[in-house]
Structure 1
Amino acid sequence: MLKILGYINNDLKKITLNELSEEYSLIWIDCYAPSDDELLQLSKKIDIEIEELKVGLDEQEVPRVEEEDEYYLIIYKAPLFEEDITTTSFGIYIKDNIILTLHIDKIKSIGKIYNLLKTKKPKILLDRGKGFFLYNLLNQITLSYSKIILNLEDELDKLESNLLQDQNNITGEILQLRKTLVYFHKALVSNKDVLSILKRKYLPITTQDDREHIEDLYYDTLQLIDMETTYRELLVSMMDMSLSLENIRMNQIMKVLTMVTTLFAVPVWITGIYGMNFKYMPLLNNPYGFWIVMGISAIIILILLYVFLKEKWIK
């Protein structure tokens, strides 16, 4: 699917591939999960090989900045909202007055930029050139990471509360959050390297002001990496605590079972002896023999209970 916006004389227009022209000061093409025919037409119009465009569609590509003869390629990582929150790579191609975002997955941050352009004055985002628009695009992605990580802080508070209340079945939630943070760590570190190049390298697509904005974005990303690392370490600690509490619960259960076994071990031993096929045994013919044996067994059980209570094994 192709969405094309052209900016000319403080006016934003929705155009088609056939209407691409150098008259526009800036053209943004957003290409989401394109068909083979759309990719072919796009390749012909902007004069970039299909194989090179497919690089931007590979969600496993490593973030980087490439300087080609006629265009620049930036691979960047964005959060991906599916059943689980993960990350995906997408491509940003910059050539002449065209900025092309190419992605196989639906990226909410790009959708937000598109809505901003359609609902507010586009002059704010487009009048300052390609570099400033690139900054806003990358900034929107960074904001998405930030919002998710801040929401994870609330999730961590809930998990910690459930853990202290000795609730079960939180191990799966801890593992899921930790998995998300691992994805984020890899993505943010890779994005940091891209921002490092963009902020210090004098590329024709960015001005000095753009590089200063990107430098702020670089430090925001560093802060997100620190937050993510802290939360990940906290999750590891919570996992260790959860396993420790589970071991304590199992030990309590084994302790109760051991005490029950101990209480009835001697009576079972006594009754086992009287189950043996001997003709002569103490109290065997005594009319009160059964009750005497039961009384002895009860006394032994009471003595053992007293010992357990004195040693505070039973609370």
Structure 2
Amino acid sequence: MLKILGYRDENIIKINLEDLENHRDYILIWMDCYAPSDEELLKLSKKIGIGVDELRVGLDEQEVPRVEEEEDYYLIIYKAPLFEEDVTTTSFGIFIKDNIVLTIHSDKIKSIGKIYSLLKSKKPKTLLGKGIGFFLYVLLNQITLNYSRILLNLEDKLDRLEYALIHGGKNVTEEILQLRKTLVYFHKALVSNKDVLSILKRKYLPITTQEDREHLEDLYYDTLQLLDMETTYRELLVSMMDMSLSIENIRMNQIMKILTMVTTVFAVPVWITGVFGMNFKYMPLIDSPYGFWMVMGVCLITVIILMYVFVKEGWL
């Protein structure tokens, strides 16, 4: 799926791929390509003059974030959060050529949809009228904000997990492991994005002005703060995991202690009844009319004594 928006005369105009020959009539053109077919990719390649193989790089989810400066275009690979069954990350490509910004991705990226919403609610001049460098900052800033929102939501989840852990909630360990997995993805993505922003903020690329580089520098420090936040949450999850395992061990010890006490309480009565259950002709009290009650009395007294000892020791 391909969407093309052009900006001129302080207005946003939808453009067809066939009309892209007149791209220089616009201040900036934003093309968003989501999960394109081979045919769409070939048409796009012919129109913007970037090879199909190069465009496929932006569709590879496993590509390492980086900045590449080619002869007639720039390629930026960046990591964005991906919302599926679990929150993970995915790579996508940003191609910049002349006045065209192409975002290409194989997964649905929430931050890009947010930019469409911003273009409808705000004046286009605010986002598209300040040049390619500022629009690049807006795009990367939306992705960073998405990371921030997710991490803030994780803080609420951590509070709920801690409460559930203390009050004996179920499946807490599984949720902790899932959150740790998400934070590992985020750590790798944020470290890679930090390296990309480090290049963009200090390298004098023609597509960015000094003001754009200052904005990107602010974004760089925001990413550093997110990394610190992610590290803190990961350490909290490690502590919670240790606490969860300790609580499980305590519960298991309590169960084993109860089972041991039950075994101890009934061990003597079982032994006595076992002795008198042996098939011998001559047994003590076997001919006594009070023999059964005497044996039962001994068993009951033994149980009472053992229970008294357990209560006195504080085991019950």
TM-score under structure 1 length normalisation: 0.98
Q: How does 1:84-163 map to 2 (within 5 A)?
A: 84-163=86-165
Is the deviation greater in 114-123 or in 295-304?
A: 114-123
SS in 1 for 2:56: helix
User: Which residue does 2:4 correspond to in 1?
Assistant: 4
Q: By how many angstroms is 1:11 displaced?
A: 2.0
Q: How does 1:150-229 map to 2 (within 5 A)?
A: 150-229=152-231
* Matched residue type, 1:254: M
Identity of aligned residues (%): 77
User: Which residue does 2:15 correspond to in 1?
Assistant: 15
Listed one character per residue, the Cα deviations across residues 98-147 of structure 1 (whole Å, up to 9, x for unaligned) are 00000000001011112222332110111111000000000000000000
Gap regions ≥5 residues in structure 2: none
Listed one character per residue, the Cα deviations across residues 173-209 of structure 1 (whole Å, up to 9, x for unaligned) are 1111111111111111110000000001111111111
Report the Cα distance in structure 2 between the residues aligned to 1:118 and 1:18, rounded to whole angstroms: 24
Report the Cα distance in structure 1 between the residues aligned to 2:18 and 2:283, rounded to whole angstroms: 110
Q: By how many angstroms is 1:231 displaced?
A: 0.5
* Matched residue type, 1:122: P
Q: By how many angstroms is 1:55 displaced?
A: 0.2
RMSD value over aligned CA atoms?
Answer: 0.9
How many residues align structurally? Answer: 314
Q: By how many angstroms is 1:149 displaced?
A: 0.4
Report the Cα distance in structure 1 between the residues aligned to 2:136 and 2:279, rounded to whole angstroms: 94
User: Which residue does 2:56 correspond to in 1?
Assistant: 54
Correspondent of 1:37 among 33, 36, 39:
39
Report the Cα distance in structure 1 between the residues aligned to 2:270 and 2:257, rounded to whole angstroms: 20
Report the Cα distance in structure 1 between the residues aligned to 2:269 and 2:18, rounded to whole angstroms: 95
Report the Cα distance in structure 2 between the residues aligned to 1:119 and 1:303, rounded to whole angstroms: 80
SS in 2 for 1:244: helix
SS in 1 for 2:235: helix
Report the Cα distance in structure 2 between the residues aligned to 1:273 and 1:303, rounded to whole angstroms: 21
User: Which residue does 2:78 correspond to in 1?
Assistant: 76
Q: By how many angstroms is 1:25 displaced?
A: 1.3
SS in 2 for 1:287: coil
SS in 1 for 2:275: helix
User: Which residue does 2:285 correspond to in 1?
Assistant: 283
Q: By how many angstroms is 1:277 displaced?
A: 2.1
Listed one character per residue, the Cα deviations across residues 211-250 of structure 1 (whole Å, up to 9, x for unaligned) are 0000000000000000011111111111111111111111
* Matched residue type, 2:260: T
SS in 1 for 2:221: helix
Q: By how many angstroms is 1:71 displaced?
A: 0.6
Q: By how many angstroms is 1:9 displaced?
A: 2.3
TM-score under structure 2 length normalisation: 0.98
Correspondent of 2:66 among 42, 64, 67:
64
Report the Cα distance in structure 1 between the residues aligned to 2:309 and 2:185, rounded to whole angstroms: 55
* Matched residue type, 1:18: E
Report the Cα distance in structure 2 between the residues aligned to 1:194 and 1:12, rounded to whole angstroms: 29
Q: By how many angstroms is 1:12 displaced?
A: 1.4
